[in-house]
Amino acid sequence: DQQVKQNSPSLSVQEGRISILNCDYTNSMFDYFLWYKKYPAEGPTFLISISSIKDKNEDGRFTVFLNKSAKHLSLHIVPSQPGDSAVYFCAASAAGGGADGLTFGKGTHLIIQP
Amino acid sequence: EAGVAQSPRYKIIEKRQSVAFWCNPISGHATLYWYQQILGQGPKLLIQFQNNGVVDDSQLPKDRFSAERLKGVDSTLKIQPAKLEDSAVYLCASSLGPRFYEQYFGPGTRLTVT
C-alpha cells in the first residue's frame, strides 16, 4: 500500500523552462511534507519542506505547493538548470509520539536538456 | 560541518551470511534513522532512535535485523542471516530532533546478497 505516490518515473525539461514534479498521498495523518534530491551514489539531500498549515513555501528557484483537499503537492523549479538533473523524492511524515520517520515516494528522475 | 558517515560503502555477501553496517551521525544530532532503499523504490524506514532509545521499529524485520545505538551516538545495523531480498542500499540519517527538523542522509551502504 503506497501512501506517497509519484506517478511520473521520469521527466524531461529544457534548460531555462519550468520543471513541475507531482506527488499524491493517501494518509490523512501526514502533516509535514518534504522534497529530497538525489544524485547517483549519494544520499538524498533535503531541498524544501512545507507544513500542512501552509499551502505554499518558496526558497529561491524552488516552490512547493500543497493542496490538502486533493492530497496533492507539487514542486516547481524555475528556471531549470543542468545541475537540477537528479532523482527527486517526495516524502511525508505524521505526528505520533515522537516517531517521525519519513514515508517516501518512488521518485521522479528529472532530466534537464540543454 | 562533517556529514553523516557510513561504512562500508559496498558489501557483497552470500545468502545466510551475516553483515553489519556502521553509522556515525552529525555531532549533536539526537535522532538517528536507518532506511532501506531497494532498487527503483524510495527509502523505507527501518528504525528510529532518539538518543539511545528506540522510538519506532515497526517496519524492522526483527527475525533477522537488529540495530543498536550505544551511548546515543554511533549506530550499527545487523542482518543475520541475509536473504536475497535484502539486497538494497542502507541509508543512515540524523537530525537535531524529532519533527520538523531536516534529516541529513549519509551516502549509504550498497549490499548485494548472492
Per-residue pLDDT, B46: 97
Question: How many cross-chain Cβ pairs, A to B, lie less than 8 Å apart?
Answer: 62
pLDDT at A39: 95
Q: What is the mean pLDDT of residues A48-72?
A: 96
- Please indicate if any CB of chain B lies within 8 Å of the CB of A62: no
Mean pLDDT of chain A: 94
- Cα A49–A53–A55 angle (5° rounding)? 65
Kindly identify which residue of chain B lies nearest to residue A94, measuring between CA atoms: B99
Give the pLDDT of residue A2: 86
**pLDDT digit string, tens, across residues B32-56:** 999 999 999 999 999 999 998 999 9
pLDDT attached to residue B72: 84
Question: What pLDDT shows up at residue A107?
Answer: 97
Please name the member of B41, B91, B98 whose beta carbon is closest to the beta carbon of A100: B98
d(CA A12, CA A30): 29
Residue A90 has pLDDT above 90, yes or no: yes
pLDDT at B70: 83
Residues of chain B with pLDDT under 50: none
Is the pLDDT confidence value at A96 over 90? no
CB contact under 8 A, A106 and B41: yes
3-state secondary structure of B86: helix
pLDDT of res. A65: 98
Q: What residues contact residue A93 under an 8 Å CB cut-off, 6+ apart?
A: A30, A31, A32, A34, A100, A101, A102, A103, B99
CA distance B79 to B13: 11
For residue B98, the 8-state DSSP code is S
Q: Are A109 and A7 in contact (CB under 8 A)?
A: no
Instruction: Report the chain A residue with the minimal C-alpha distance to residue B38.
Output: A106
Question: Across the interface, which of A45, A91, A106 has its CB nearest the CB of B40?
Answer: A106
Question: In angstroms, rounded to a whole number, what is the distance separating the alpha carbons of residues A63 and A52?
Answer: 15
Q: How far apart are CA B101 and CA A32, in angstroms?
A: 10
Q: What percent of chain B has pLDDT over 90?
A: 88
> What is the 8-class DSSP label of residue B41?
S
- The overall average pLDDT reported for chain B is 94
Assess A59–B contact: CB distance below 8 Å, yes or no. no
CA distance B28 to chain A (A): 18
Q: Which residues of A touch B39 (CB under 8 A)?
A: none
The verdict on A2 touching B (C-beta cutoff 8 Å) is no
pLDDT at A1 over 80: no
Instruction: Give A10-53 pLDDT, tens digit per residue.
Output: 999 999 999 999 999 999 999 999 999 999 989 999 999 999 99
- Residues B91, B111 contacting (CB under 8 angstroms): no
The C-alpha atoms of residue B83 and residue A18 are separated, in whole angstroms, by: 43
- Closest residue on chain A to B10 (Cα): A41
